[in-house]
């Protein structure tokens, strides 16, 4: 999965529409292979973002869970730890192959 797309379900405070749109944008960028569409493709790009954001919001509003809400700060800290471990592994691999 694209590392830039974050989990949006079950957060306190709830996920905002801006966060949903950002995830939709990242998805469309990944699928299209383009971060900035040409002028000719901009309408299709924007329509896809709008439709994916709408479907995502609808899904998030319908999901149910008995788990306690997650904290954005705690999830961000976990993400930083995973990133640091990945970087340490890469350094070990590069060092071992040098």
Q: What is the pLDDT of residue 1?
A: 45
Q: 20 near 53, Cβ under 8 Å?
A: yes
Burial readout 10-30 (b: 16 or more C-beta within 10 A, e: otherwise): ebeeebeeebbbbbbbbbbbe
Each residue's pLDDT tens digit, 50-75: 999 999 999 999 999 999 999 999 98
Confidence check: pLDDT of 98 > 80: no
Q: What is the pLDDT of residue 3?
A: 62
- The domain segmentation of the chain, as residue ranges, is 1-67, 71-98
Each residue's pLDDT tens digit, 11-55: 999 999 999 999 999 999 999 999 999 999 999 999 999 999 999
Q: Cα–Cα–Cα angle for 17, 13, 67, nearest 5°?
A: 110
Run of H or E residues at 94 = helix 72-97
Confidence check: pLDDT of 2 > 70: no
**What's the rounded Cα separation, in Å, for the pair 65 and 56?**
17
């Amino acid at each position: 999965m694209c590392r830039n797309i974050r989990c949006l379900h079950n957060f306190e405070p709830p996920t905002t529409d801006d966060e949903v749109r950002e995830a939709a944008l990242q998805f469309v960028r990944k699928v299209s292979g383009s971060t900035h569409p040409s002028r000719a493709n901009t309408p299709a790009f924007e329509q896809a973002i709008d439709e994916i954001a709408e479907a995502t919001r609808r899904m998030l509003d319908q999901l149910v869970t008995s788990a306690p809400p997650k904290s954005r700060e705690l999830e961000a800290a976990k993400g930083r730890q995973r990133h640091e471990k990945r970087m340490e592994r890469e350094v070990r691999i590069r060092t071992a192959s040098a």
